[in-house]
Structures are given as C-alpha cells and as structure tokens.
Structure 1
Amino acid sequence: MRHLNVVGLLALAATLVASSARAEVVILAEPNAPQVSFAVQELQAALAEKHIEASCKPLSAEAFARLRGDIVVLGSCEDKAFKKQAEKCGAAPGELKPEGFSIRKTEGDQATVYWVLGADEAGAMYGGLELAEQVRCNGLEAVVDTDQNPYMALRGIKFNCPLDERTPTYHAHTGDSQRKNVAVMWDFDFWKAYIDDMARYRYNYLSLWNLHPFPSMVRVPGYEDVALDDVQTVDGTIKMSMDEKIDFWRKVMRYAKDRNVDVYIVTWNIFVLGTEGKHGLTDKPDNKTTIDYFRKSVKQLFLTYPDLAGIGITSGENMRGMNAAQKEDWVFATYGQGVLDAAEALPGRKITFIHRQHQTGAQQIAQRFQPLFKHPDIDFIFSFKYAQAHCFSAIHQPFCEDFVKDLGDLKTIWTLRNDSNYYFRWGSADFVRRFIAHIPYDVSRGYYYGSDGWVWGRDFVDRSPNRRGMLDMQKHWYHWMLFGRLGYNPKLGNDRLIAVLASRFPETDAEKLFTAWHEASMIYPVTTGFHWGEYDFQWYIEGCVSRPSYAHTKSGFHDVNRFINLPPHPGTDNIGIPEYVEATVEGKKPDGTTPLQVVEKLHGHADKALAALEDLPRGQDPELGATLDDIRTMAYLGKYYAHKIAGSTYVALARETKNAEDRNKAVAELTKAAEWWDRYVASASSRYVNPIELNRVGVVDWQALTKEVYNDIDIAREAGK
C-alpha cells in the first residue's frame, strides 16, 4: 500500500463534529489495494443492512479533514506513517503477526472513528471483514476493540479439480460429483464466488488436485501437441483453446491473489492421462521420455502462471514395482528438477514445494531433496494425512505420532479429509475447535481441508430447482466457515457464532438452532469413532456402506456382523463389541467407553437435536427450512446407528451366551433401527437425488440398502441358536 501524507491526520479526529443520526458513514481506505477494496464492499453491505449509507473515499489527510460524523479508517501498518498517526490518536494496534489486525474505536467531541489496523493488506482485509460481521451481528454502535492474529499460518482447501474427461481428479473419471463438475471448473463466476467465500472464512490457500493437469493447463516445449484445445465433459465438448485456458487460470489465480488466497497444484503419480500415448509417454517409471516430459511440464507451469504459489506431489500412488528410494528418485528427477529449473529461469520467484509423506520417511525425503531445501527461493514443506479419510471420527488422531518424531525441525501441512459428510449441512463448532486444538502445533504450517470422494463445486443432488446448481460452498456455508474461521482464531466464541446465525436466519431462535445443529452433527464422529473404516472406500456413514470387499457383503452394506468385528478408532477409548462381550461374559468391568455407552451418546445427541427442532420456527426462508430438514435427517441417522450398535452388541452377546433374552433384545433394537432407517431414507430421498455413484465407494442406493437393513433383524433372530 502507498504511504500517506498524514501530517496531523488523527489530530483532527478530536475536533470533528459527531453525527447524532448515525445515518451515514464515510470509509477511508486505499483505493488501489484489492484486498482492502473487498473488505470495504463487505462493510458497505453490512452497513446497508442496518440502513446506514456508507461512501468510500481515498485515505488521505485532506479527505479526513473535511469529514464529520462516523468514520471508518482502514489501512495497513506496513505504512509506517499511517501506523504512527493512529498511535498518536490513541488507536495503537496490538502486537500483530502477518495477516493479523486490530480494531479500535476512538471518540472525540465531534467524531467517532473506527480504526481497522492490519499488519499488512491481508490483515486489513480480515479486519474489515471482522468489523462488517460485528456490524451485522450487533450494529455499528456496539463495535468493540479487537486484536486477532492467525493461529495456523496456512488455512487451505483441498479441492479435487476435474479439468476434463481426459484429465480427471482422483481416481480416474468416476463418481457423479466429478462428472457433473467438469464444466464448472471452467466457469469464472463460480471461482469468483468461491474465492470470495474463502476470504470471508479466512482461508488463504487453495490447492487444486488433479491426477495429471498439464495437458489442460500448459503447452510444454517439445510436447506442444499434448495440450488439449478443448474441454470434454459428459454433456459434450466445450470449445476452448490452450491460450484461452491459460488466460482463464491466470485470471483465477490473480483473483485469488486479490483475496489473499494462494493457488497450488497438487498431483498424484505416475499418471499420464490425456496424453493419448503421444511421444511414447507411458506411466512406466523407467521411461526417459516421460521423465523429461514431467520435468519440462513442471517448469512450464511456473513460467506460464506468475501467480502460482507452488506445487505438491504424491509419490507411490501409481508406482508399481518401485521401492521407496526409487520413488523418491523419480519424483526428484521430474518435479524436483522441474522446480529447480523454474527457480533458475525465474530468479527471485518464491515457490513452495509440498511433498506428501506417503510411503517414505521424512528424513529420507529431506536427504534426497537437499537441493530444494538449500535453494533460497524454494520453500520445501511436507504434507501428511492427519485423520486418514475421516476428520469426523475423533478429537485425538494418533496416526501422525511417528511422523512428527521423524520430522525433527522440519515443518508440515496437514491434509484434513472429510469423506463422511457429502449430502447434509453439517455444523459443530465445538468439535471443530477441539479438533484443530489437538493438531500438533510446533511442527505445523497449517492444513488444507477437503475430500477425495466429492468435488465441492456446484450442488447436483438437491431436488429443489431453486437450490440445485448453487455452490456447495454456499449450501454448506456454516461447515466451511467453521474450518476456516476456527483455524484463524480458535478462540472465536459460540456467542459470536450464534449471533452470525441470528443475522443469517432472523426468523428463528439462533441459540436453539446452534444447539440442534451441533447435536445432530455429532452423530458423525461418535458413530465413526466407534465403527472405524479409516479410508474413504472403507466407510461412508451416510449410506452405511463401503466397497464390498471391505464390508464382507456383496452390496457393500455394513451389516450387524461388520459392526461387531470392525474395531473402534484408535484415538478413542471406545471398546469394540468383541472385547465388551468377552469382559461381560467373564464378569469383568471393561476400561473405556462401552458399546452401550456409545449408544447412549448417540441417542442423547439425536434426541436433543429433535427436541430443539420442535421449538424452532421455520419462517419463510427456504434456506432455513432446508437447514432444519438436514438437521432432522442427521438426527434420524443417529437414531438408526444407536439402535444398530445396540442390536449388534446384543447379537454378539447372544452368540456367546445362547441367552434368549439377549437375542430378543437384539431383535427389538434392530427392528427399531430399521424403523429409523425408513425415516432417514424418506426424509433424505424427499429432498435429495439418490442413488448416486461415489468415486471411492461405488453406487449408494438408500432404497436398495433397505433390504439389507431388514436382513439385520433376520441375523438377530438366529443369534445364539
């Protein structure tokens, strides 16, 4: 931001005339700072909701001197003159880190001034967004002094990005959400709205994940004919030259930069999808042409996109027959050398290289990639899958413990996966806050949050024509807000979140809505914490399914037998059903949370959600109605799993004790489970398209699975006979 001529700027504040009507506000801000301009727009919109007109003028001493009334001054403390004058007027900022901000309110005889003091332009933007939210929630007169710094430096999104039928995201071009979102990836209006929401929710990092993005993004020297000059979708072909594609992604990356969002490309390896065998390119690791092609593609990616922040890689995904050292050698020869080539061609250009820790130790990787570690313009960081595929499973995730020890002084970014919740609007602030607090902080650079089994583009499952096609980010706004805002500031309190809900849904009781939403959302971690299928293809809670091979059933349905033999999450103190039965039969008291205590938790969450819904008016807002329906549906699912776990426990007991009473309890519980499943399916199917195909699980068909649900009762009837 430019330096201001602010001699005497704030000395004038004490002599300005106060506006008693408070019907107009003047905002002083740097007009040529895009991030600040976005915050100004948000603040103007918030003030307009309170029937306050807000004009914006360039930040200068002259403009300030002519003003009377309520004034908002929004700027960056990187401008030393601005910061100095703010301090003179009693609006000194707190100790700020990059992206941090302070809000100060000063009142004189003739003026009320609201100061937004960012550590930098990004901090000024976040401070402006915070001020806008305070205005929306409580009004301008209730604005309070605030100091905030980011808790996690990197707060990102893992976005699986299907660029083309020929250049898909994980895993190959399967799954309805992938197929239906290819064209969306080339819709600039989508990205503008998506990135605006990222900024609102304090995300500063967008990682676009694709198996092999180069044919859809760059023209590689020596391999020019590999570039795809159109976009193939399931609905047809979009005419789009490579030059047009390059211009498109440059615009997206520049727009993201203007919202303090850095864009990264992340790949899996070795995949050559979209090359159609040209130049003899294959996925064989010893193919020298393939190695050359990848190295040049990586370099060209950075030459082509000046705002691209970095690249991430996965070694081992499609590297059959290679040992760990060979995999790292291949990645270094391609991606590592490509980044070094780009750094040589673009001196001073900062590039982040993200190496996903997949199958090789961190220190081994660090040794192989020493040239990147030593390069002054390359930031090498690791990435690790923190909670496998299911964040919604447990607060404590033990899978990284050996990795953290191996890191030493190195740093990592965490992959946080949600392959549990696709359909329904999820939202538990308490869970997210505690989950983030348990992430090992000292080795952390931050996290990116997202899914492998779902492309969070535009909604295609809502039966309402008014909602189908809306951004998933907007449908699931509260969910995404929690993982962004609480990563920036985990001290953000529930009182503020309730106020946000009240502002969004003024027709209902926000406190009861907050409670109902939390209680229903806890169904996911409580269930999956007990029934732990760690990867996306091993467990999908909204369908009670996985791949058939893991379910041990032809349909993939997790029946009573699978609920008995699948162990709990290792980060919980949950006791598996076999261990509980053994202890019970032996007359021992097991140490930990028993299956029947898990059942009590599920009933408690579901019942509290349903009880709160009884007192919540729906109003006239369709979004509020859809939200309440989702909460109810999740609660029904919780009742199903509560009875199912209870029934499974009694089946296992009956098999061991041969006791008819246990068998009868099993039948009764599983009969109730089926009744709640019917309610769940009726509620969900009335509003959402089903069956659908998921790229990691396969077809999920609630109606077809109902037969399997009732078969659990038959299993119970035979228990112990």
Structure 2
Amino acid sequence: MSTFSGRFLEPEAFELTARNAGGRSNIVVGAGDAAGLMYGGLELAEQIRLYDLDGVKPTSQKAHVAMRGVKFNIPLDVRTPSYSDMSDAAQENIATVWDWDFWTEYLDTLARYRFNYVSLWSLHPFPSLVKVPGYEDIALDDVQRSTVTWAEDYPTIATGYDAPEILENVEVVKRITIDEKIDFWRRVMRYAKDRNIDFYVITWNVFTYGTDGKYGITDAMDNPVTVDYFRKSVKQLLLTYPLLRGVGLTTGENMRDVGFQEKEDWAFATYGQGVLDAVAEQPGRQIRFIHRQHQTKAQDIAATFAPLVKHPDVDFIFSFKYAQAHVMSSTTQTFHESFVPSLGDELKTIWTQRNDDAYLLRWGAPNFFREFINNIPSDVTQGMYYGSDQWVWGRDWLTLDRGEGEPRELEIKKHWYHWLTWGRLGYNPDLGNDRFVALLGERFPQANAEELFNAWQNASMVYPLTTGFHWGQFDFQWYIEACRSRPGPAQTESGFHDVNRFITLGVHPGTDNVAIPEYVAAMQAGATIDGTSPLDVATALHRRADAALEALPTLDETRGTSVELDRTLNDIRLMAYLGKYYAFKIHGATELALFRATGERARQQSAVAALTEAQTWWLRYTTLSGELYRNPFWTNRVGIVDWVELNAEVARDIQIAQDG
C-alpha cells in the first residue's frame, strides 16, 4: 500500500485506486489534504476489515457538505447552565464534560463517522471558560452541581435557572482552577484539530448566569456595562483559544419587549465588535461567525453585521432550524422555503438538524436519512449540525442491565448506528445499504446482517410515520417515545397526548397526510381523499411494525452471544411495539371522530376496540422499557416521563371513546 497527497482533489476528498508497480499491485490512497488522507485511510481500513485485502474496491469520495457537525448543549456548571440543564441528561453529565477520557473517545468516534466540528451551546459560558480583563472576579473555579429537589418544569425561555434554592444547595463535582479549565479546553481543541474537528461556542441571549451581578452586570440590553462585558468576553474567548474556529449566537429567548433591530444592534455591539476586536489583534486569523436566524430576518441581520460580512478574516454564515425540532418527521421539509430567498446570492447557511425524538431507543434507518439529506437545498448550504435541546449526548445513564463494573457507555456509542448513519451519509449520501449491512455484519457476526438491517429500518420508520402525521413541531410540543408534551400543547393536565389530541392536532406540512378532521369532512361529503388518509398511516405503521416483529424470532436465536446485540434487539422490539400502539391509536381516533360526526354506533365500537388493542401494545412497550431503562426520568422540555403514570393515561383513552 502507498499513499500520497493529491493536490488536485478538493479539501477532505480522497480516492482509492489500484496501481501496478514492479509487478506488484498497490492500493493507493490519494487525498487533497490531511483530512482527506485520514478519511481515505479510514475507508481503506474499513474495506479491509469488511472485505479482506483482495476485496478492496476503488472509490472516489468528497464531502457532500463542507461542515458536518454536532450540537452539544453543554452542562458546564450549575452557575453557567445550558438550555438542557433542567433534566437528568444534563445533571448526570456535568462531570462528564470535564472528563478527558470522555472527549478523546467522543472525538475519535466523531472523526470515524466523518463529523468535522463540534458546537458547544450554552446560555452564558464565559465564566467557566475565560478570564476577562477588567472582569477577572467573574471567572469560576471548580465545577458545581446543585443538589436541590428540582421542579418538573422550568420556563421554556430558560430563565430562573439561578433561583436561590438552586444555587444555595450545591456540591463540587471537580476541583479545578480557571487556569486548569483553560488548559483542559485547549487540550480538547488540540486533540480535535488533529482529527479534522473544529470547535465553536454558540450562545442564547441575553443571559448573565455566573456573573452574580458583579460589576453591575444585568441582563438589561441597555446596560452599557453588560455590553462592554460581553464584547470583551467574546474577544477574550477567541484570544484564549487559538484553535477555536468561531463563535455564534441566537438573538431572542431573553431579549424581552424589543424589536428585531434593537436585538441586532445589541448583538453587533457585543458579539460582532468582540470578533472584530479579536481579528484586529490577530490579523490573518480566520474566524467563522454563526448567526442563528431566529425572530429576525436574514437581510436585516446582514445589514447590521456588514462589517463582519465584508471582513476578509471573517466567514459570516447563518444557522436555520431546518426541520424544527424533529428531523424524524419527513424527508421533505418546508420550513426553510421562505428563508432561502432571503439569503440572496452571497450568503450561506448551516442547517440545524434537531433530533428531539430518539433518546431512549437505538434508532437506525439509512434509507430515511439518505433521502432527507439529498433533499436539502445545496446551493445555499454550507453545512449542518445534528443534536438535541432536550438531551445531552454524554454518557448513558438510563440503562438498568449494566453489568457489574461495566462503565457508563458514551451515548453516541450506545446509539452508534444512528450517529454513524447521519455522519457517513452527511459526508457521502451515495454510500449504499450494502455498506451498512456489512458494518452490521462486522459488529454482530452471529446475526443475519441483512435481516437485522431490514428489521431495524422498519422499526425505526415508526418515528417519521407517526410524527409526520401527529405534528407538534417544537420539542415541548411532542416527544414520541412517551406520547407526551407540556400540558398546553397536549391540551391535557398531564401532558399526555390522548385520543382527543390525536383527532385535533395537524399533520406535517411536508407530507401528503390528511388530518382526521379533514378526512371526516371528506367522508361525510363523499369527496375523494387527496393524500394519505389517517387509516393509510395506521396501515403503514402496522406494516413496518409487523415486519420488524416477524424478523425478531430468528434474530432472537442469537440471544446470549452479545450483550450489545441483545440490547439492540430489545430496542427494535420496543420501537415495533410503539408502532403498533400508534397504529391502533390513530385508527381509534379516526373512528371516534367519525362516530362523533355521524352518530354511527359501529364507529364507536370500532374506536373502543382499536384503543383497547392500542393499550395492549402500550403495556408491552412500557413493561419492557421499565425492565431495561430507569423509570421515571426527567426531561427539560416535556417534564417527567413515568411509565406507570402513562399507563393510566392510555387506559383513559378507552373511557373517552366509550363516553363518546
């Protein structure tokens, strides 16, 4: 084997070719840069593992999108929280994000999956990361976590995270000075850079957690001290971390009672000027500035930030929430359609791809992700990043059947197939299913890889089929694995989405699904249904779930040969159970709506029967989930998930149908 750096190739691109030299056949890895050479080496090593040396196939690959990142809501400290901190996922991972071993394993995994950046999201990270000249007393030593008895729900705009009872009841989880913190993150960024992974820090605003009101700092936008503090913090963050590729911000959340121009003026006076101060001190350093398009307009933002847009050392790009909170809803998304024209000819964006769906169970559907990625508009795309607001992807804390001495696994290792699929298809969406089947065969040689691939794909499709029909677009409006949201969107006291809410909630605009009220009206009028009816959705769910369940008995013959395979098969079974539940629930909701419209008792009887079947499958789902995973668990957007409580809610659906 030989390698060379091929300058004719694009950045991150590579090719594998076979060449004859002196009567010997050599496999040559050609690349346009070091990153491409790394990816080419990973590809070659993978092919040798999967197909042996003689089976290596020539290939030429390049990055489909330039930036392929992850969204990591980082719980740095109770004093400098992220959006996700009011949850078990964050509280269980505060110590994790200060663990060197976590980051080395995490970054190695991201590199193998072809991700090339990490975005750390925080409400106000500066006190935990930098010493700001003139504001030195704000820098925080040690890492603290609160021992308070948490409330179930906190404001969705992330205020109140510094309530006295939270900050007055704390424990130190790591003794570390601010200088040691700075050294830690420099090492992390160096380790990442060596693997073609950049770091970004992105914030929501205006939050001043961790400042304790020192120096007269408040969250008031017209406070000149606050403006000065933020400007100097941004500059110092960039100067402190030479390998930090860029910073970003969201205007909104805690910018109260002001118009978009006031928000943008503040953002430029703080973050924009801070970046300009840094590049003035370090001319020639390339800094990327990410502005989330949120509650403001792209061209108005660009006009306010013109000095950054035009600066030769600054790459100004937007960020936009492409599928709202649910990537797993439809391969066709529509929310960007009005945003794209506003970018004009010069501006680019990275797409926020939010998974606020699959936390508990190991999801994996390459066909869905491939089509989803191929549908993203390429002409305005600089990249995308994948992650959650309701979950912190640190170390697993839910699994109950962990063996004695078995360490807490990285979440992206537990969900390896999910994250690998997104990363690899983000780099090369032409990667075929044969490769994914081969990877499954390598990881689980005792199982029939093709049967496992199909069962996993079918079970995972329960998520988009259900969420594409029952559409709560934001994280606090719908969480499929628990059939619940905050009480307001659910229109129930508990937050459970009952049969009535399945009747009234609309469908995803990127699908051709027909909502139940429109379907009932069409049936009454004798009109032709234009689109996929609710009963068709239920049928599709049955078909996917049944296909997965029918494959499991053969796959179950491997049980006991691999702990990970056993856990994977359990999750496939759970997703299939969930699919059967939603299929019967949608059927029951449709029949109940038809009964209410027509008075036909047969419709009511059909609704009761379907919802009774739904309960059977739900109990199977929650019984097995309760055996495998911690119950209850607390999320920051939809509150406490408690299987026992939810079982009672499911039973109530039958009573609702009986009452009519």
Judge same fold: TM > 0.5, yes or no: yes
Q: 2:253 aligns with which of 317, 320, 339?
A: 317
SS at match of 1:319: coil
Q: 2:281 aligns with which of 337, 341, 345?
A: 345
Q: 2:3 aligns with which of 74, 78, 88?
A: 74
SS at match of 1:318: coil
Q: Displacement, 1:136?
A: 1.1
Q: 2:73 aligns with which of 147, 157, 160?
A: 160
Tell me the amino acid that sits aligned with residue 76 of structure 2: L
Could you list the per-position Cα deviations for residues 659-703 of structure 1 after superposition, in whole angstroms to 9, with x for gaps in the alignment? 110000000000000000000001111100011110111111111
Q: Displacement, 1:588?
A: 1.4
Q: 1:184 aligns with which of 68, 73, 96?
A: 96
Tell me which residue corresponds to 1:25. none
Could you list the per-position Cα deviations for residues 366-394 of structure 1 after superposition, in whole angstroms to 9, with x for gaps in the alignment? 11100001111000000000000000001
Tell me which residue corresponds to 1:643. 584
- Between the aligned partners of 1:175 and 1:254, the Cα distance in structure 2 is 30
Q: Displacement, 1:626?
A: 0.5
- TM-score, length-normalised on structure 2? 0.95
Q: Displacement, 1:96?
A: 2.3
Q: Displacement, 1:234?
A: 4.2
Tell me the amino acid that sits aligned with residue 618 of structure 1: T
Query: Does residue 1:114 correspond to 2:27, yes or no?
Result: yes
SS at match of 2:335: helix
* Count of aligned pairs between the two proteins: 631
Tell me which residue corresponds to 1:259. 195
- Between the aligned partners of 2:659 and 2:518, the Cα distance in structure 1 is 21
Q: Displacement, 1:612?
A: 1.2
Tell me the amino acid that sits aligned with residue 423 of structure 1: L
Query: Does residue 1:618 correspond to 2:558, yes or no?
Result: yes
Aligned runs of 1:365-376 on 2, under 5 Å?
Answer: 365-376=301-312
Q: Displacement, 1:108?
A: 4.7
- Between the aligned partners of 2:387 and 2:465, the Cα distance in structure 1 is 20
Tell me the amino acid that sits aligned with residue 563 of structure 1: F
Could you list the per-position Cα deviations for residues 145-185 of structure 1 after superposition, in whole angstroms to 9, with x for gaps in the alignment? 110011111111011111001111105x3010011111001
SS at match of 1:401: coil
- Between the aligned partners of 2:592 and 2:212, the Cα distance in structure 1 is 54
- Between the aligned partners of 2:241 and 2:21, the Cα distance in structure 1 is 49
Aligned runs of 1:262-273 on 2, under 5 Å?
Answer: 262-273=198-209
**Cα contact 1:221–1:296 (8 A) shared by 2:** yes
Tell me the amino acid that sits aligned with residue 712 of structure 1: D
Q: Displacement, 1:97?
A: 1.4
Tell me which residue corresponds to 1:4. none
Query: Does residue 1:433 correspond to 2:370, yes or no?
Result: yes
Tell me which residue corresponds to 1:12. none
- TM-score, length-normalised on structure 1? 0.87
SS at match of 1:615: helix
SS at match of 2:72: strand
**Cα contact 1:218–1:242 (8 A) shared by 2:** yes
Could you list the per-position Cα deviations for residues 62-96 of structure 1 after superposition, in whole angstroms to 9, with x for gaps in the alignment? xxxxxxxxxx2233224xxxxxxxxxxxxxxxx62
- Between the aligned partners of 2:570 and 2:488, the Cα distance in structure 1 is 33
SS at match of 1:152: coil
Q: 1:101 aligns with which of 7, 14, 28?
A: 14
Q: Displacement, 1:110?
A: 4.6
Tell me the amino acid that sits aligned with residue 325 of structure 1: Q
SS at match of 2:248: strand
- Between the aligned partners of 2:338 and 2:462, the Cα distance in structure 1 is 30
Tell me which residue corresponds to 2:383. 446
Tell me which residue corresponds to 1:360. 296
Query: Does residue 1:194 correspond to 2:106, yes or no?
Result: yes
Tell me which residue corresponds to 1:411. 348
Which structure is richer in relative contact order (CA contacts within 8 A, separation 6 or more)?
A: 2
Query: Does residue 1:474 correspond to 2:421, yes or no?
Result: no
Q: 1:232 aligns with which of 144, 155, 167?
A: 144
Tell me which residue corresponds to 1:677. 618
Tell me the amino acid that sits aligned with residue 486 of structure 1: L
Could you list the per-position Cα deviations for residues 337-384 of structure 1 after superposition, in whole angstroms to 9, with x for gaps in the alignment? 000000001111110000000011111111110000111100000000
Could you list the per-position Cα deviations for residues 99-148 of structure 1 after superposition, in whole angstroms to 9, with x for gaps in the alignment? 00011122456533221111100000000000011011111111121100
Q: 2:498 aligns with which of 559, 579, 587?
A: 559
Segments of 5+ residues of structure 1 without an aligned counterpart are 1-71, 79-94
Could you list the per-position Cα deviations for residues 430-474 of structure 1 after superposition, in whole angstroms to 9, with x for gaps in the alignment? 000000011111000010000000000000000022366100010
Tell me which residue corresponds to 1:609. 548
Q: 2:601 aligns with which of 644, 649, 660?
A: 660
**Cα contact 1:202–1:485 (8 A) shared by 2:** yes
Tell me which residue corresponds to 1:217. 129
- Between the aligned partners of 2:594 and 2:252, the Cα distance in structure 1 is 43
- What percent identity do the matched residue pairs reach? 58
- Between the aligned partners of 1:567 and 1:351, the Cα distance in structure 2 is 42
Tell me which residue corresponds to 1:128. 41
Query: Does residue 1:465 correspond to 2:394, yes or no?
Result: no
- Between the aligned partners of 2:132 and 2:614, the Cα distance in structure 1 is 57
Tell me the amino acid that sits aligned with residue 625 of structure 1: D
SS at match of 1:221: coil
Tell me which residue corresponds to 2:51. 138
- Between the aligned partners of 1:493 and 1:286, the Cα distance in structure 2 is 55
**Cα contact 1:507–1:618 (8 A) shared by 2:** yes
- Between the aligned partners of 1:519 and 1:685, the Cα distance in structure 2 is 23
Query: Does residue 1:495 correspond to 2:434, yes or no?
Result: yes
- Between the aligned partners of 1:464 and 1:279, the Cα distance in structure 2 is 50
Q: 1:539 aligns with which of 463, 475, 478?
A: 478
Q: Displacement, 1:479?
A: 0.3
- Between the aligned partners of 1:491 and 1:222, the Cα distance in structure 2 is 53
Segments of 5+ residues of structure 2 without an aligned counterpart are 148-170
- Between the aligned partners of 1:396 and 1:407, the Cα distance in structure 2 is 20
Tell me the amino acid that sits aligned with residue 515 of structure 2: G
**Cα contact 1:75–1:121 (8 A) shared by 2:** no
Tell me which residue corresponds to 2:156. none
SS at match of 1:328: helix
**Cα contact 1:180–1:234 (8 A) shared by 2:** no
Tell me which residue corresponds to 2:455. 516
- Between the aligned partners of 2:602 and 2:401, the Cα distance in structure 1 is 47
Tell me which residue corresponds to 2:154. none
Tell me the amino acid that sits aligned with residue 582 of structure 2: Y
- Between the aligned partners of 2:422 and 2:124, the Cα distance in structure 1 is 28
Aligned runs of 1:34-113 on 2, under 5 Å?
Answer: 72-78=1-7, 96-108=9-21, 110-113=23-26
SS at match of 1:598: helix
Q: Displacement, 1:586?
A: 1.5
Query: Does residue 1:704 correspond to 2:640, yes or no?
Result: no
CA RMSD, Structure 1 to Structure 2 (Å) = 1.0
- Between the aligned partners of 2:88 and 2:631, the Cα distance in structure 1 is 11
**Cα contact 1:105–1:143 (8 A) shared by 2:** no
- Between the aligned partners of 1:320 and 1:220, the Cα distance in structure 2 is 26
- Between the aligned partners of 1:75 and 1:580, the Cα distance in structure 2 is 61
SS at match of 1:311: strand
Query: Does residue 1:396 correspond to 2:336, yes or no?
Result: no
- Between the aligned partners of 1:382 and 1:588, the Cα distance in structure 2 is 44
Spell out structure 1 runs of 4+ moving beyond 4 A: none
Tell me the amino acid that sits aligned with residue 631 of structure 2: N
**Cα contact 1:462–1:468 (8 A) shared by 2:** no
Tell me the amino acid that sits aligned with residue 395 of structure 1: T
